[in-house]
Amino acid sequence: MEKITRKKIICGNWKMNHSHYEAVQTIQQLKATVSEEDLIKADVVIHPPFTSLRSLQTIFEAEKLGIFLGAQHCYFEKSGAFTGEISPEMLLKLHVTFVIVGHSERRTLFNQSDEIVNKTAKAISEAQMIPVICVGESQKIREAGEHFDFVASQVEAALSGFRIDTVKRIVLAYEPIWAIGTGNNATAEDAQDMCASIRKKVSELYDSDTANLVRIQYGGSVNEENAGSFCKKYDVDGLLVGGASLDGVKFGNVIKAVI
Ligand code: PGA
């Protein structure tokens, strides 16, 4: 596959943390840590809980901050009797650009199946937003040596029925479950090997030009110290950061380590 340069994408997944007051404070810390020029060098996305989306939209737009607004989840239907759910259209109206789908916490704790991941990713794309589709194996699967096949099958299931022009815009995130929130990050080599394998799978499903455009992140215990090492690898196009994104200074340092 021909080597090309892809713009890095660094996402902060706040999970169920920060009230809307704390969200605003965290963005102030981030602003004090990174410059406008820094934010041009990579795509930086914040995925707060739904309750902070409007506050952050207001700040990002009023202050013309080069940060994209992201969401952590949505339902695939447009509207209707789905108590507690949020539609892609509702997120779009808040100027959300990226939506995480298939995070292992949703797959495990909320029974999100490959089929639901696929339907949701399609609904996000149809609403003109970009899905950040998470894949990754458990410790048991890795120990059995089945991780490459397992992740490839998750990628295939998530992209089932996707048109080629849509696939070019998506983001995939390799997040080994054993590395999430454990402090036990994958090595940069492990991340590179899996991201390259994911790209090969996309190339088989579509073609090499498409696979070359898809951005593939690594996520799992990323911090200020290890962030730079992952993104030096050719197939690792950015990071999905949980814990270290909750502190604006730490997340700013992660960004600075990558750009
Ligand atoms: P972590 O979470 O950085 O806290 O390990 C990553 C994620 O779940 O996206």
pLDDT by residue (tens digit) across 54-97? 999 999 999 999 999 999 999 999 999 999 999 999 999 999 99
How many angstroms separate the Cα of 100 from the Cα of each of 71, 74, 108, 125?
A: 6, 9, 15, 12
Please report the atom of ligand 1 found closest to the CA of residue 221.
Answer: 5
Answer whether residue 1 shows pLDDT above 80.
no
Active site residues per annotation = 103, 175
The pLDDT of residue 57: 98
The residue type at 171: V
Please report the atom of ligand 1 found closest to the CA of residue 134.
Answer: 9
Interval between CA 106 and ligand 1 midpoint (Å):
13
The pLDDT of residue 2: 78
pLDDT by residue (tens digit) across 17-62? 999 999 999 999 999 999 999 999 999 999 999 999 999 999 999 9
2 is a domain residue: no
CA distance 255 to 9: 9
pLDDT by residue (tens digit) across 100-121? 999 999 999 999 999 999 999 9
The helix/strand count (H/E) of the chain reads as 13, 8
Q: How many domains does the chain have?
A: 1
124 is a domain residue: yes
Please report the atom of ligand 1 found closest to the CA of residue 245.
Answer: 3
Answer whether residue 3 shows pLDDT above 90.
no
What would the mean pLDDT of 163-181 be, rounded to a whole number? 96
What range defines the domain where residue 13 resides?
9-258
135 is a domain residue: yes
- Identify the CATH number of the domain in which residue 177 sits: 3.20.20.70
Interval between CA 191 and ligand 1 midpoint (Å):
14
The beta-carbon contacts of 104-113 under 8 Å, at least 24 apart in sequence, are 104/134, 104/136, 104/175, 104/177, 104/180, 105/15, 105/180, 106/73, 108/177
Interval between CA 219 and ligand 1 midpoint (Å):
6
241 is a domain residue: yes
Task: Give residue 87's region: left, alpha or beta (phi > 0; psi -120 to 50).
Answer: beta
1 is a domain residue: no
4 is a domain residue: no
What would the mean pLDDT of 156-169 be, rounded to a whole number? 97
In total, the chain counts a number of residues equal to: 259
